Amino acid sequence: MGKPQSKGAVVLPLIPLAPPFAVLPTTSVKVPIANRADVAAILAKIYSISPTAKPDAAITVVCVPLCSKQLSKDGRLLIEGNEGNNGENSDYESDPVNASTRDIFGYGCIAKVSGVQGRRAGDLSLVLEGLERVKVVNIVQERPYFEGELEPVEEFIDMANSELGDQFQLLKQLSRELLALVRLSSILPRSPSVSLSPIVARRLEVYIARKDLSEAGVLADFMTNVVDCTHEERLRVLASVDIKERLDRTIEILQRQISTIQGSTRITVTSTTIPSSTGIDLDQLRRLQQEALRRRGAIGSGKSMPGGFPGFPGSPGSPSQSGEEEANEVDELKKRLQDAKLSPDADKVAQRELQRLQKMNPAQAEYQVCRNYLENLAEIPWTKTTVDLLDTKTLVKAKKQLDDDHYGLDKIKKRLLEYLAVLKLKEQANKTIDEQIRALTDANAPDDQKDEKEEAEERQAKEPTEAETRLLEKKRMVDKSPILLLVGPPGTGKTSLAKSVATALGRKFHRISLGGVRDEAEIRGHRRTYVAAMPGLIVNGLKKVGVANPVFLLDEIDKLGVSNYNGDPSAAMLEVLDPEQNHTFTDHYVNIPIDLSKVLFIATANSLDTIPPPLLDRMETIQLSGYTTLEKRNIAERHLIPKQITTNGLRDENIDIPTDVLDKIITSYTRESGVRNLEREIGSVCRSKAVEYATAKDTNTLPAYNPIVTLNDLDAILGIERFTEELTEQQSRPGVITGLVAYSTGGQGSILFIEIADMPGRGNVQLTGTLGDVLKESVGVALSWVRSHAFELGLTASDNENIMRDRSIHVHCPSGAIPKDGPSAGLAHTIALISLFSGKPVPPTLAMTGEVSLRGRVLPVGGIKEKLIGALRAGVERVLLPEGNRKDIRDVPQEVKDGLRIEFVGGIWEGLAKVWPERWETAALGHVMPRL
Ligand SMILES: Nc1ncnc2c1ncn2[C@@H]1O[C@H](COP(=O)(O)OP(=O)(O)OP(=O)(O)O)[C@@H](O)[C@H]1O
């Protein structure tokens, strides 16, 4: 047992503290200093002694509590033993400003003034950190502030004293128990006001577990300070110079505190759990205690906290060692990172971060951030790949797979097979090179059998082989997969083609929807400094598939957001899609180059117009055009109907959709380039039949059930026809011409009527129908040509006559609400004007497209395939196309070529000869100009 040894006394300023303030070693308090003239005087004095005091120089004072009426100056209870001072302290002062020498307690604590807090003069507080217990031997000055003669208190701990050891263990156990109770009670409903944040609780647990017997007094002081106890109890602990006595007093306080909490939680707990003498669920408590004990074992002992915030184990100054749980967590993470086979770059970063993580306190917010980052690193497939199914039968199998899944699309399938063939050849070449390199390395490996001399001789000879290895390495074919872009109207099978490629290759498939991505960070991730930062879509995709060589479908790349204040998402895609750059793609979150060169990117878009040119430049475009009715019929028969039959729980023999019914669905219930609506309508028919079949089965009337769907059924199942042939209602009228359009959005083609009417006026031209600038200009060109050739066309009586002198015209293109633009209606406008002025109608089944020049030439236009498919669908019989578009006919499906009479014209005169052959056949040859 210890015996206090006295040292030489020192004189220091005293700051008397009124209840509830009392400073114990290891604790920190904030003392309000409003109206504290003595504190102001102390500070003034200190600074006057050392006016150049460095800001970080420690200012030390002694905090002494005011005496309590129940205690003697040395902390003994006055009620228990009448040890002097009896009558004296009955009227002790409770205001530190008016205190006199007899009000000052016998023990105090040397404290460091660590700062002043508060904003206004009225609410300033002095922050004091208790350092060391001292005995106040004598008061040498009262005004303007107290000064006292102090004697240091030496603490002696007899480490061999088993009784003290037991007491210390009890103190630790009670401390943990109290903590567990506080945590438990804070999560219980209607808990008392004690509540502890899990982070603080955790820090406390670690702090308690780390204390050993040599710090028994420190722990007792600390616990006295943190628990809710009376002022007198605190004074008694302060006055307990003897460690055993101090432990006894603290244990007493803790025990009382524990029973108070147990008592207050009884009502809540007993209603839901096993009632016990304490009122707490014993199992739960035991578990909490066991956990605490387990932690203590794992944590071991730690030293005091130099420079740390006293009494606050989680503060930066106190080295915090994580518990077993954290240790396990870090080990697990380490293992996962090892299994993830990181790239050398990533490995370096991961090791650095792991070291940081190990040093961090788990309660720190940064710990989670660091852990999440490492988890992300472990989940990214750095080197893991699936083996491509590239054996001798690959191409045959792939072709079968594509044919099985899709009807038609021969050109696209051919291109995809080419891609697979190249991939296969590259892989084979690389395999051979790998084998050669391996053979060379094996030959270079040191041979145990040979002695050193022999080896040195041989090394000379081996030198060239190493160079050879490097040469071979260079020859390896780099895996730079081209990026394919499938462009076409919705529902034409772009997504499902990409899926089939993945299946054929045996690769994993992941779809990344880029539609509506407005933020660059969605693609590249957020920097780690942001709260809740995450990797971007690409890295997330890789994490999800878990291999470095999947097929990524970049869906709707044309709907990617444009540059805005959140960055430019399409610019972020540039790096992803450039085969020259994407082997070092950097996600902002991961911040380590990731190799994307093994990923097969297939992008899809509905239109090329909105794709930024640099992005488009990096991709190989494959066009898919809309399907013709015949193609749709085949797709429906081979793919959609069987699919819908299974989806709706039917069997092949339960339903039969004859070809005429299918054609009716295609033409009268859908009008689209793709087959998505068709699939939906077929689904409706199947569902209706499924209900009929199920009812027949339930009512035992199966023999009466008819699996065949008739034309009449369609009306009942799908409702009235949604689309009728557009041209059937149209009558030939002067000034009305059927033009052709290919909508850039959706890529489908259709017919478009051009209506021109004239009226008395002064040569004005009115344009309606949401016409774009180019279309307006094309009307101007047509009108100028007609005006300049009016006499030759026989529209005016003389060369000088102005055909527009007494009239105005109005050009309109229904449907008025749909914006239209482009020069391709030039021919139709010219013919319409001539038709109007001459009063000669043109049959609506004759459609035309082509740009006209002022000299009367008909120039080629785009979208011929779509326009012709649309024309056939709309019931057009004859089409006039520019001569320059003759080459485009090769791509047009045979069915369309068979269904339309396609004629080519090089100039307007030629066009006139085709429209009104009886009048203009000879004029077209450029010789005669007959009059209409
Ligand atoms: N040639 C085809 N053969 C068989 N089925 C097809 C064909 N074309 C499309 N389909 C079917 O049509 C449906 C829609 O196709 P998909 O989802 O691939 O369209 P998409 O072109 O990607 O459309 P979007 O541009 O709207 O994304 C799928 O069920 C697909 O199987």
pLDDT (tens digit per residue) in 871-920: 887 888 999 999 999 998 988 888 889 989 999 999 999 999 999 887 76
CB 157 within 8 A of CB 164: yes
Is 495 annotated to bind a ligand? Reply is yes
Q: Please give the pLDDT value at position 671.
A: 76
Which residue's CA is the nearest one to ligand 1's atom 11?
Answer: 493
805, pLDDT greater than 70: yes
Higher-pLDDT residue of 452, 351: 351
272, pLDDT greater than 70: no
Q: Please give the pLDDT value at position 477.
A: 58
Q: Please give the pLDDT value at position 748.
A: 65
Amino acid of residue 858:
V
Higher-pLDDT residue of 390, 729: 390
Highest mean pLDDT among 84-98, 737-751, 793-807: 793-807
Higher-pLDDT residue of 56, 749: 749
630-668 pLDDT, tens digit per residue, is 888 889 999 999 999 999 888 888 899 998 899 888 888
Question: Mean pLDDT, to the nearest integer, of 320-324?
Answer: 46
Q: Please give the pLDDT value at position 172.
A: 86
pTM exceeds 0.80: no
Q: Please give the pLDDT value at position 398.
A: 84
- The secondary element (H helix, E strand) that includes residue 163 is helix 162-187
Instruction: Sheet with 736-742: list strands edge to edge.
Output: 765-768, 807-812, 749-760, 736-742, 846-848, 878-882, 901-905
141-177 pLDDT, tens digit per residue, is 887 888 888 888 877 777 777 888 888 888 888 888 8
CB 262 within 8 A of CB 182: no
Question: Mean pLDDT, to the nearest integer, of 798-813?
Answer: 89
Band the pLDDT of 857: cuts 50, 70, 90: very high
- Pocket test residue of 639, 666, 745 for ligand 1, highest count of atoms within 8 A of CB: 639
Higher-pLDDT residue of 364, 255: 255
828, pLDDT greater than 90: yes
658-715 pLDDT, tens digit per residue, is 988 998 888 888 878 788 999 999 999 999 999 999 999 888 888 888 889 988 888 8
Higher-pLDDT residue of 467, 551: 551
Which residue's CA is the nearest one to ligand 1's atom 16?
Answer: 493
What is the C-alpha to C-alpha distance for residues 227 and 252, in angstroms, rounded to an integer?
12
Lowest mean pLDDT among 291-300, 399-408, 914-923: 291-300
Q: In the structure encoding, which two tokens stand for residue 139, read together?
A: 């008061």
Atom of ligand 1 nearest to the CA of 643: 29
CA of 715 to the centre of ligand 1 (A): 26
Q: Please give the pLDDT value at position 195.
A: 52
Atom of ligand 1 nearest to the CA of 631: 1
531 class by beta-carbon count within 10 Å (0-12 exposed, 13-18 middle, 19+ buried)? exposed
Query: Can you tell me whether residue 109 is helix, strand or coil?
Result: strand
Question: Mean pLDDT, to the nearest integer, of 75-95?
Answer: 55
CB 386 within 8 A of CB 507: yes
534, pLDDT greater than 80: yes
Is 488 annotated to bind a ligand? Reply is yes
Atom of ligand 1 nearest to the CA of 675: 12
Q: Please give the pLDDT value at position 622.
A: 87
Is 546 annotated to bind a ligand? Reply is no
Q: Please give the pLDDT value at position 786.
A: 92
437-470 pLDDT, tens digit per residue, is 777 766 665 555 556 666 666 555 555 566 666 6
CA of 849 to the centre of ligand 1 (A): 29
Which residue's CA is the nearest one to ligand 1's atom 3?
Answer: 406
Band the pLDDT of 125: cuts 50, 70, 90: confident
Query: Can you tell me whether residue 741 is helix, strand or coil?
Result: strand
- Pocket test residue of 404, 407, 486, 495 for ligand 1, highest count of atoms within 8 A of CB: 495
CA of 80 to the centre of ligand 1 (A): 94
Q: Percent of the chain beyond pLDDT 90?
A: 12
Question: Mean pLDDT, to the nearest integer, of 766-794?
Answer: 88
Question: Mean pLDDT, to the nearest integer, of 342-349?
Answer: 88
Q: Please give the pLDDT value at position 920.
A: 67
- The secondary element (H helix, E strand) that includes residue 134 is strand 125-141
Which residue's CA is the nearest one to ligand 1's atom 6?
Answer: 493
485, pLDDT greater than 80: yes
Highest mean pLDDT among 386-395, 761-770, 850-859, 910-919: 850-859
801-820: buried (b, 16+ CB within 10 Å) or exposed (e) per residue? eebbeebebbbbbeeeeeeb
Higher-pLDDT residue of 351, 121: 351
Lowest mean pLDDT among 34-48, 355-369, 392-406: 34-48
Is 724 annotated to bind a ligand? Reply is no
- The secondary element (H helix, E strand) that includes residue 152 is strand 146-152
- Pocket test residue of 405, 409, 496 for ligand 1, highest count of atoms within 8 A of CB: 496
- Pocket test residue of 555, 611, 629, 676 for ligand 1, highest count of atoms within 8 A of CB: 676
268, pLDDT greater than 60: no
Q: Please give the pLDDT value at position 342.
A: 86
Highest mean pLDDT among 1-10, 443-452, 484-493: 484-493
Instruction: Kindly list the protein residues whose Cβ atom lies closer than 6 A to any atom of ligand 1.
Output: 406-409, 490-496, 604, 606, 635, 639, 675-676, 679
Q: Are strands 807-812 and 749-760 parallel, antiparallel or unpaired?
A: antiparallel
Amino acid of residue 376:
N
Q: Please give the pLDDT value at position 318.
A: 37
Which residue's CA is the nearest one to ligand 1's atom 8?
Answer: 493
What is the C-alpha to C-alpha distance for residues 451 and 250, in angstroms, rounded to an integer?
76
Band the pLDDT of 223: cuts 50, 70, 90: confident
50-62 pLDDT, tens digit per residue, is 555 555 556 788 8
Q: What average pLDDT does the chain have?
A: 78
CA of 646 to the centre of ligand 1 (A): 18
- Residue 611: half-sphere exposure toward Cβ, Cα within 13 Å: 27
What is the C-alpha to C-alpha distance for residues 273 and 843, in angstroms, rounded to an integer?
90
Is 490 annotated to bind a ligand? Reply is yes
Closest to 911 (Cα-Cα) out of 829, 809, 812, 796: 829
CA of 566 to the centre of ligand 1 (A): 33
Which residue's CA is the nearest one to ligand 1's atom 2?
Answer: 406
Atom of ligand 1 nearest to the CA of 638: 4
Closest to 487 (Cα-Cα) out of 609, 364, 613, 638: 609
**How much is the ipTM here?**
0.96
Lowest mean pLDDT among 179-183, 590-594, 687-691, 881-885: 179-183
What is the DSSP secondary-structure string of 526-554?
A: --TTSTT----HHHHHHHHH-SSS-EEEE
What is the C-alpha to C-alpha distance for residues 727 and 490, in angstroms, rounded to an integer?
25
List the beta bridge partners of residue 130.
111
Which residue's CA is the nearest one to ligand 1's atom 30?
Answer: 493
Atom of ligand 1 nearest to the CA of 406: 3
Is 626 annotated to bind a ligand? Reply is no
Give the active site residues: 824, 867
Band the pLDDT of 327: cuts 50, 70, 90: low
827, pLDDT greater than 90: yes
Question: Mean pLDDT, to the nearest integer, of 763-787?
Answer: 88
List the beta bridge partners of residue 857.
907
Q: Please give the pLDDT value at position 510.
A: 93
Is 489 annotated to bind a ligand? Reply is yes
